[in-house]
Each structure stands twice: as C-alpha cells, then as structure tokens.
Amino acid sequence: MNNRQFSLLTSLCFATTCANASNEVSELDYYQELPVVLSASRLAQPLSEAPNAMTVIDRKMIIASGSRTIPDLFKLVPGMYVSYYKGSQAFVSYHGTTDQYARRMQVMIDGRSVYMPPVSTVDWADLPITVDDIERIEVIRGPAAASHGANSTQGVISIITRDAGVLDGGSVAFTRGGKGINDVTARFGRRGERFNHRMTLAYSADDGYDNLLSAPPGKSITQPQVPSLLNNSFDNNRSKLLNYHADFLPNNVDNFEFQFGLNHDVQTVGWTDKNTGTNFNTTHELFSDASFIQLGWVHQLAGDSELQLRYYHIHHNKWERLPYYIGGSFNAGPITQSLTTGRDEIEAQHTLHTAPNNRLVYGAAWRKDDIDGNATYDNLLPAYSFATARNEYRIFAHDEWRITQSLLLNTGGMYEKDGMGNTNTSPRIALNLHLSPRRTLRVGTSIAYRTPALVEAQFPSVQPGELFIPGPTVNSPGLRPERMQSQEIGYLEHMDATSSLDLRVFSEQLSDGIYWNAANMFVNGMHTQRDGVEITFKHALNNDSHLTLNLAHQAGNSNAPALLAAGNTSLQPASSSIIDSYSGSIPRSSASALYSQDMGDGFSYSAAYYFQDALQPFDRGSADYQPVQRRMDVRLAQAFHPWGGIKGEVALVIQNLFDQRYTEYVANNVFDRHGHLTLRFNW
Amino acid sequence: MFTRLRIAFLHLFFLCSVASAAEPLHITLVLSDDTPLYQSFADSLSQNLNAQAKIVVMQAEAFTAAEPKADLIVTVGIKAANQVAPQSNTPLLATLVTLDQHAKLSRQRPKGASLSAIFLNQPFDRQLALLRAALPDSARIGLLYSAETRSNADELKNKAAQQGVDLIARLSLSGESLHDDLEALLDRSDVLLAIPDSNIYNSNTLRNILLQSYRHDVPLVGYSQSLVRAGALCAVYSTPEQIAAQASAMALQFAKNKSLPAPQHPKLFSIEVNADVARSMGITLPSAELLRIKIDKMQGGMP
C-alpha cells in the first residue's frame, strides 16, 4: 500500500472508530494507520553510538537527588563544577571556570538557547521552568559545536521538559524548609486525542545563605580580600513563574508545538561591606522579567525522513536601583540600570536516511540578539544608553554512517557567522567501534569556538550594581573567538542487564583564551591544556534500587605563569602555594554518588554524596579558597491515599546531613545542613 | 514417441484443469468497506484464484439473501460477516474476524449453514516466539488489558503459564487510570506486549503509551505494521494479501472437498522491526529476515 492509500485508510478508520460506539476489537485495530510517535527527533541517540561523552539525568535521578533547584542537579555530572556567587546566583561549568559567569558552556531548554548576551551567561534564577517540569537533562561532555553551535566550547547542557501529555489532571505541591524555603507549585494538564497541554504555576522563595556570625570553616575573617566576611544576608530569591506547553497533532504526519513561559524574579543583591566608602554595589533588589514563546513544527516525510522547524523569542528585562558610596560618603542616588535582551531564532532541520546504513541531519538557522541597556548614574556620570543588534547565521550537517554492524562513523560540522565579524567552522569526527554487543570503544576529536561576549569587547568603565551595561566604545578591539580542541577515547560496557560503565579519557586545549591583561583590556592569548579521566558506573541492584557513581580526575597547565611574568597581574595566583592561577582553579578530583531504593508500600528513600577537591577560584582572593567539599543528602518519601482518587506524597529532604560545612566560590556562602519538606497531591 | 506421449499427457492434464475451469467455483466476496484494505484483499483473492473461481465482489450494505446463488461466500471484516451470517445458508468463510466475533457469528448462522474463519490475531505461540527471538533477555512480559479483552488476556495467561513465561498482566478499567496502570506495569516489566484493544491502544492514547514506555526504557512489541512505524519495537502481523492467499487456499480446499476447513489463525505472516527504536533503546535486534528464520525454527520449521 502506498502512503496515499494509507492516509485514505487512516481518515476512514478514524471516522469509523469515532462513529462506532462499541469498543469491540475489529480489523481496524490491526490495519489502521497511526501517527509516528517515536520519530527521529524524539529518539535519543544511545550512548554507545553518540559522537561525544554524555551524561543523562533522568526523571528518577532528579527526584532521587532531592534537588530543589536546577543547578544542583549538575553535581551528578562527572567533572562538573557547580557553585554559587550568591544564594540566587548559581553557575555551572564543566572543567572549571574563570569567573562566576561560566561563559564556556551552551545551555538549551527544548532546543532554545538560554545562554544570553551581553555577558554570555545563563541566569539560572530566571528560567521559566521548575525542576518538576524537567523530563531529563542531557549533558554533552566536551566541545559539541558541530551539533550545537558556537559557545558549546566545554560542553552542552540540554534540558528537555516534560511532554504536554504527561499529566492528565492536576497536582499541587507545597514545600517548606530552612533558609526560608517556601515553594508552591500547581500543575494542570489534559491529554486529548489531538491536543495535549499542560501548565505550571509556581512560586518559589528562599533566603539564600545565612548571614555569618562567625568565620567560615577554615577561614580567618582577617584574610585580605575583604575586611570582614560577616555579611551575606542579601541573597534572597523570590520567583513567580508560569509555563505552558501544548502539542497539536492534526494528523499522523504533523506535530505542532506551542510553548510560552514567564518568570518574574526578585533577588536581593549587593554587599554591605565591600570596599566600604567606594561601594558601587550596595544592597538592593534586582528585578527580572524573563519570558519566551516557542513554536515548533515536526513533519514526517516518507521513508523515515523528518522536517523540523522551530522559532522562538526570548525577552529578558532586568533592572535595579541602588544608592552608592563614593569618596567615603553616601549618595542616595540612586544609580538606575536596566537591561533588555531579546532573542529571535529560526531553525530548520531535515533528518533523512540517505541509505539504510547512513543517516544525515542538516539544517540552517538565523538568530538575532537585541541588547538594549540604560543607565543613570546620578551626578556621577551622564545618563547613558546602549543598543545593538547582532545577527548570527549558521549551517550545519551531521552524518552517521554505519560502515559495518560494529563500526559507526559520526562526522559533522557547523559553519557560522557570529555577528561580531567572525566566521567559525567547527568540525567533529568520532568513530564508534562495537567490540561486542555490550562493549563499545569511541575515538573522537572536535573543535569548538566561543564568541567573545559583548561586554568583553565593550567593557563598561564603571560597573555599579549587578548588571553589566556594555560600554559605548569597543575598548577591547580585535577580540577573536576562543578555540577549543578536544581529543577523547571513550569506553562503554554493559556488563550485564543491570550494570554499565562509561569511561572517558580526554585531552583538551583551549587556545586564544580571553583574559584581562596589564593594559586593562580583554585580549586573546591564554592557552590551557587539560587532561583527565571521567568514569560513570551504574548498577541496578534489583528493580527497585539504583546506584550511580561518578568520578572525575583532571590535571592541567596553562601559560598563565608566563603571562603573569609579562606583567599581567590579573593572573597573579591568590596565594604563593599556587604557581598557575588557571590550573589551581580546577578541582583535581571530584565524585558523586546517588542511590535510590523503593521499599514498596509507597515508601522510598535515596541518598546522594558529593565530593570535590580543594581549589582556588580563578578570579577570587585567597579568602575564597575552597577547601575539600563533602556533602551527603538524603530524601525520604511516603505515598498515601488521602481520599477519593487523590494521591499524596510527603517527602523530606535533608541536604548536607552531617553538616560538613563548606564554602562556595565566594566564601561568605557557607553550605550547612538544612532540610525541606514537600507535600504533594495529584489527581 | 516418448516425447509425444508426454505432450499428450500434459495435454490431458491441461484439459482437466480446463474442465475444472469450465465449472469454476462461484464466490461472492463481501467487503465491509471500499477502502484500500478491503480492495487489496479483493484484488489479491482474484489474482490467486484466477480462472479457478468466478468472483462477484460487493459491499456489505448491498448484500441480500436474494443474491445470485454462490457456492461460497467470503466476507472481509466484521461488518460484512455480520451482514451475511444470519441471512444466507451458503457456506461462509469469514476473514478478518476475532475469535469472539466468530463465536457470535456461528450462533447467528441458520441451522446447518457452515461457517469457517481466518482470525485476525496471530497465534500466541508465534508472538511468544517473536519475543524470544527479538528479546531473549527480557524475562518479564507486561500485558495491559481492559474488560473488553479479559478473555484474550486469560488465554494468554494460561499459555504463558504452560510455557513457563513470566507474564505480568494488569487490568486497566478506565481511561483515567490508564497512565497509572501502565506506570505500575512498566516498573515491573522488561517488555510490554500490546494486544489489540481500543480501550487501551487507540490513536488517542497511543502517543502517550509509546512515550511512557520509551521513558521507562521498556520496548513495546506490537501487533501491526503501523504500530511499529509509530514506535513499537517489532510486531508479527499478516497483510490483507497474506490473508487473501490463505482464503484462496481454503476456497480451493472447499471446491475439492465440498466442506470448509476448520477456522484458523493467519498462516502467512510478516515481521516488521523499528531499527531506529531498537538502536535508541540500546537493543541489538536481529533483522526482520533473521527473526523470521528464528521464529520458524522455534515453531518447528512451519512456514
């Protein structure tokens, strides 16, 4: 039967099924045509065939981790560094970072890049999704520009939210806990024949880290960078968010997706005791409205071929008002700053089998970023505005060639114009050899670029408050993209149905790295070398208990000492025990473990353990040296049936059970034991 | 001389077949609808029987007992069978009907009127052979059924028990509880065996069922080609052409013996696999051809 006959049959079948009140099985059940559900774009590439190392954090792991916020989930990725500049200002970076903006990792939600200008970073506090909205997270470890574009320099985080049809009914959850944790989430969803939709409404609040009453562990409050560390009460976060996701399936070959979301977030920011007398960042509130709308169309063509079209628009608006100190005296000011960032992107992608053993994905995209900043610096400086637009274009192709049953060749590349006058070509090649059905060896190499951030090229001469309004002139001219090259060998083994091992040995070189030089400019010229090994071991003790173990070990060096010798004092290590300020900023070893057990009768428990070696944050003083971190989290949950068709669950999470207090990127942030309790009802 | 004899012999044989063609079997073929499914059955039947039968094709609505006398009526689909069974005394071969429908039809037949059938569903042994050939490590087979398919499920449970198969059957009573029932079943199963049941598997629910089982990393083994295209791992099924071929053979047997063979399951079948789904789920799945060979072996070389 050809396709046309099938579709004819289909329409008739639907008509008949609908008209036929009886649900008796008939020939139509056997011969009716059905929509393609697990299409190429929905099917995840198995780890043994992927061109990169990848960590998948699925729904079960998300729940078992007990994490209330998204950034904490990445502690379950080997080699990932997760830390906090403030309670509400998390950052996530693979293989270390040179500042709290972690600018070398692409982050996407359902294919939508939330890595935003002008700083080129991700604001984890204003994402319009909750942990509960996430179906799974795929983290590509290593450069992946060939498939994800510029700025996938160290890796890519891809967050996949839950399907519109996942919920048919409603759910409310209340969370209360220490540190002012106070969350309410309501979710509604409807599964229909041709239309599925769901909505989340959430309020989330916490008070961040405690105001310190004594020196952090292992610290003396007389250490040099700041005269006192005893303040950090200004990192509260209050967020109200909404997201909506609808799928419309008018027929068996088309799938339309519609999403929108918004997050109104208020953070308390600033410092009371930083540079007293010249404090340009006094305590104040930072307001943020982040919204997006996304449209998607997936069209199935004959012969397992698929066409995808996606458009999205992101709109971020942030503003702050603050008084300041200058020359030792207080100025009520206020300084006001606002920053609006808009992003529009259209991407078209075609997936097809060019031969039974060859699959090709190719496409093109256009992206436009609008950045609009306004600042009024009282009588200090004249009012200042900044506006620019950047157009980026890219074309890409990826080919998956199964040379033999046991040999798979992944080749891909992306060519792009980054809107700042640079063109990059990012290739990737990987060969996957199935030594046996259970064992795979992967050898790959890849190149990726990071486009300089707008504020790197146009660094503002004064930086009051939290927001960076790009300066009026290009004061760091001639910046080129940073280039990352990586080689890796991977080995995957499924020992049996219950255990698997994923090993990656890598060597990566960053060249043309951007740093702050002696002339107070951002320039290219930092070179780093990083080698390491990462291991993930998974074991299901039985159907009800799961264990995941992650280990990472890495060593590296850079030309930071040479650059320092040339007079670039920004690369001065914070203490004399460190020679290479860059290498010192990366934890040599880190590990995480997650164990979950379902005891039956609705009771389950899980435990997570995190370990991280000591490090000296790259751009912080010796006061912020991070000693070894050890942390154990536990979660206990009991399901119950309060009444009718309602299902309830009460879950207790205690983080840092043994109160092994440790300091974050900024040492004022001391992570100590605290817990939260969640009560949830589903119907 | 010998050559001539042989030619004469062949001639005689030819005459014989012409003689039988001179009095072909008169078949009335009654279709439930005129969609491609039924049309391809009709085309296939006429091609197979060629000169050996005279076939009158009609739609179910047009059928009356006063139709020109046929030796055999073949119906395609339940609607046609329901239309013909109570009205006509002519021997009836009902194709594309379920076991339950066949039982009901036989009660509706006039006294003494013969009835045979080709069932829709594949024999359970064949489905089990496919599961074993495709997923030798998947010990626990999950089965979701509704009140409508309770009898099928009971039969499957008995067969499974006989063969020492770990079949976990779960009854789902309403559309509202479907998601939770499936969730509970997927937690306990290595593979989900789908049986036709429009309370459970329909175009409305299929999307979520496939996504849900995919999320649980549990493959779904289906019963139709389109289910495999939609996202099931594999299925054993019979095309309308294959059923028509079997019906042709039964018609010829009828012409020879003047009595219908016993009702039977589809004899000719095809295997469809979704290699993309297998790959994504990390399942090393043999090709459809190899699966076919394995199934034939398990079933004692039966074609």
pLDDT tens, residue by residue, A345-373 = 999 999 998 998 899 999 999 999 999 99
Q: What ipTM did this prediction achieve?
A: 0.88
Domain spans, chain A: 1-34, 56-326+339-459+469-682
C-alpha–C-alpha distance, residues B92 and B86, integer Å: 11
Q: With an 8 Å Cβ cutoff, is A37 touching chain B?
A: yes
Which of A30, A36, A645 lies closest to B237 in CB terms?
Answer: A30
**Architecture of the domain spanning A56-326+339-459+469-682:** Beta Barrel (2.40)
- Please name the residue of chain A whose CA is at the shortest distance from the CA of residue B94: A27
pLDDT above 70 as % of chain A? 94
User: Which residues of chain A from 541 to 580 reach within 8 Å of chain B, CB to CB?
Assistant: 543
Q: A192 and B204 in contact by Cβ < 8 A?
A: yes
Rg (C-alpha) for chain A, rounded Å, is 26
B209 to each of A165, A550, B153, B230, how far by Cα in Å? 10, 32, 19, 11
Query: pLDDT per residue over B21-61, tens digit each?
Result: 447 899 999 999 999 999 999 999 999 998 889 999 999 99
Q: With an 8 Å Cβ cutoff, is A643 touching chain B?
A: no
- Backbone φ and ψ of A476, nearest 5°: -125, 75
Q: A25 and B37 in contact by Cβ < 8 A?
A: no
CATH number of B2-120+241-257: 3.40.50.2300
Domain spans, chain B: 2-120+241-257, 124-237+269-298
Which of A8, A46, A58 lies closest to B282 in CB terms?
Answer: A46
Name, in order, each residue with C-beta under 8 angstroms of B131's C-beta and a sequence gap of 6 or more. B138, B141, B191, B193, B221
The pLDDT score that the predictor gives to residue A68 is: 95
Tell me: domain B124-237+269-298, CATH 3.40.50.2300, correct? yes
Which range, of A161-165, A200-204, A409-413, B202-206, averages the lowest pLDDT?
Answer: B202-206
C-alpha–C-alpha distance, residues B256 and A269, integer Å: 94
Name, in order, each residue with C-beta under 8 angstroms of A555's C-beta and a sequence gap of 6 or more. A530, A531, A532, A583, A588
Burial of B204 (0-12, 13-18, 19+ CB in 10 A): middle
Which residue in the block uniquely carries the two structure tokens 């070990």?
Answer: A553
Look at residue A226 and tell me whether its pLDDT is greater than 60. no
A549 to each of A78, A553, B61, how far by Cα in Å? 9, 14, 66
Which of B30, B31, B37, B61 to probe the A interface (max A CBs under 10 A)?
B37
Q: B196 and A9 in contact by Cβ < 8 A?
A: no
User: Which residues of chain A from 576 to 635 reach within 8 Å of chain B, CB to CB?
Assistant: none
Helix axes B36-49, A3-19, angle to 10 degrees: 120
Query: For chain A, what is the mean pLDDT?
Result: 89
- Asked whether the beta carbons of A122 and A115 are under 8 A apart, the reply is yes
Question: CA A491 from chain center: how many Å?
Answer: 25
Where does residue A79 fall: left (phi above 0), alpha (psi -120 to 50 degrees), or beta otherwise?
Answer: left
Helices (H), A555-640: 560-565
CA distance A133 to chain B (A): 15
Chain A CB contacts of B137 below 8 Å = 497
Q: With an 8 Å Cβ cutoff, is A250 touching chain B?
A: no
Which residue in the block uniquely carries the two structure tokens 């792991």?
Answer: A61
CA distance B65 to chain A (A): 24
C-alpha–C-alpha distance, residues A506 and A220, integer Å: 38
Name, in order, each residue with C-beta under 8 angstroms of B205's C-beta and a sequence gap of 6 or more. A191, B175, B178
Which range, of A123-132, A195-204, A576-585, B266-275, averages the lowest pLDDT?
Answer: A576-585
The answer to whether B2-120+241-257 and B124-237+269-298 have equal CATH topology is yes
Look at residue A282 and tell me whether its pLDDT is greater than 60. yes
Query: pLDDT per residue over A439-486, tens digit each?
Result: 999 999 999 999 999 999 999 888 889 999 998 889 999 999 999 999
Which of B97, B276, B284 lies closest to A437 in CB terms?
Answer: B284
* Spatial CA neighbour of A416 closest among A147, A158, A115: A147
pTM over 0.90: no
Strand, coil or helix: B167: strand
Q: With an 8 Å Cβ cutoff, is A255 touching chain B?
A: no
Query: pLDDT per residue over A71-112, tens digit each?
Result: 999 999 999 999 999 998 999 999 888 888 888 899 999 999
